[in-house]
Copies of this chain bind each other. A is one copy, B any other.
């Protein structure tokens, strides 16, 4: 009989964690999968409490992800995929543990510490024929997909300039701070051993890179990055010149110290015939201007958006969708592909509309090119 529901496990994401909870609620929205196993925390108590909250079989609340991968792989009713929401340093090893045992993986970004590790994961996934999603969540927004359709169809012409930014203010107090207490906010991101060498670019700069690439289909060729640490171990601010494979230039600005900005991802793509602008904090609209014409504000839910965009909508026009829905859209694509796979159906390109391990690899390369550029005096550096 054809399966209509999947079973998933989770690494990381105990009840106190922000992002793991978003993953679970987003998955729940699609009503096609249930949580069956987990290793939610290195702290035993938190791990247990989380598993119990979700009514898991106590045997399937695991002390570590290696054991979890091994045991789940052995079970008849083992998990179909694992969602990895632990801090960055766990991504590579955890992903490898599950992939090598034939379990599909959906992993938080940035994917790994090095491009080599990411390439290795891809190799395993390819060899085993496994799905591998990477959670560049902003590309799950409905109007990002509308932007993609418009740009890919050539509505704005050839792309000639790109301006992306992701500004936040929440770490501004780290500047000049020597009080370790105060630095606890997002502390693991600031620990090179856990975050992997970059704080600001790794966390949010990488979202600019992916969203731009997702919309345009362009690939970054080289960067010239000026990172500011303001005396802290890792970068808190980054201004980056970029060059894409089509020769087009642009700038990415990402920062955790820009007062007045909450979670300000803004992507502007300029072409020879038009331009689009999308703002994460008001995700239900998209600006489109055709050369010489008035700027148009497109609304999610209206009849003029592409049929493929309409198909993604969960709510009618004017009813705001937000972050949960963006995550849920990512998971919808991933799980629908996975259902086809477990049911023995053939997947087409169109089924794979979620960020893949290739996106993950490119993302890691982007971060490393920025770090290398900075190290060498902010010079142009190939990806």
A residues with CB within 8 A of B = 18, 22, 25, 28-29, 31, 53, 156, 160-161, 163, 165, 168-170, 172-173, 175-176, 224, 226, 228, 230, 237, 239, 241, 243, 249-251, 253, 255, 257-264, 268, 270-275, 277, 280-284, 287-299, 301-304, 315-325, 377-380
Please name the residue on chain B nearest to A237 by beta carbon.
B161
User: Do A161 and B257 touch (CB < 8 A)?
Assistant: yes
A299 and B243 alpha carbons, distance in the complex (Å) = 32
Query: CB within 8 A of A321: which of B258, B262, B298, B323?
Result: B323
Closest Cβ–Cβ distance, residue A1 to chain B (whole Å): 14
Q: A160-B257, A259-B290, A297-B297 are in contact. List 8 more A-B contacts (CB 8 A).
A: A22-B315, A25-B28, A161-B258, A259-B274, A259-B291, A281-B318, A292-B302, A324-B325
Closest Cβ–Cβ distance, residue A166 to chain B (whole Å): 10
Which B residues are in CB contact (< 8 Å) with A230?
A: 160
Please name the residue on chain B nearest to A238 by beta carbon.
B249
A161 and B255 alpha carbons, distance in the complex (Å) = 9
User: Do B323 and A319 touch (CB < 8 A)?
Assistant: yes
Closest Cβ–Cβ distance, residue A271 to chain B (whole Å): 7
Which B residues are in CB contact (< 8 Å) with A296?
A: 293-297
Known: A22-B315, A316-B18, A318-B262. A294 touches B289 (CB 8 A): no
Closest Cβ–Cβ distance, residue A179 to chain B (whole Å): 15
Interface centre among A176, A273, A319, by most B CB within 10 Å? A319
Query: CB within 8 A of A292: which of B237, B280, B304?
Result: B304
User: Do A297 and B294 touch (CB < 8 A)?
Assistant: yes
Please name the residue on chain B nearest to A255 by beta carbon.
B161
Known: A253-B251, A283-B320, A318-B263. A293 touches B304 (CB 8 A): yes
A33 and B292 alpha carbons, distance in the complex (Å) = 37
Query: CB within 8 A of A319: which of B259, B263, B270, B292?
Result: B263
Which B residues are in CB contact (< 8 Å) with A378?
A: 224, 241, 380
Query: CB within 8 A of A322: which of B262, B303, B325, B377?
Result: B325
Which B residues are in CB contact (< 8 Å) with A287?
A: 260
A262 and B317 alpha carbons, distance in the complex (Å) = 6
Closest Cβ–Cβ distance, residue A324 to chain B (whole Å): 7
A29 and B257 alpha carbons, distance in the complex (Å) = 32
User: Do B237 and A249 touch (CB < 8 A)?
Assistant: yes
User: Do B175 and A272 touch (CB < 8 A)?
Assistant: yes
User: Do B163 and A253 touch (CB < 8 A)?
Assistant: yes
Closest Cβ–Cβ distance, residue A362 to chain B (whole Å): 21
Known: A22-B315, A53-B31, A249-B239. A228 touches B160 (CB 8 A): yes
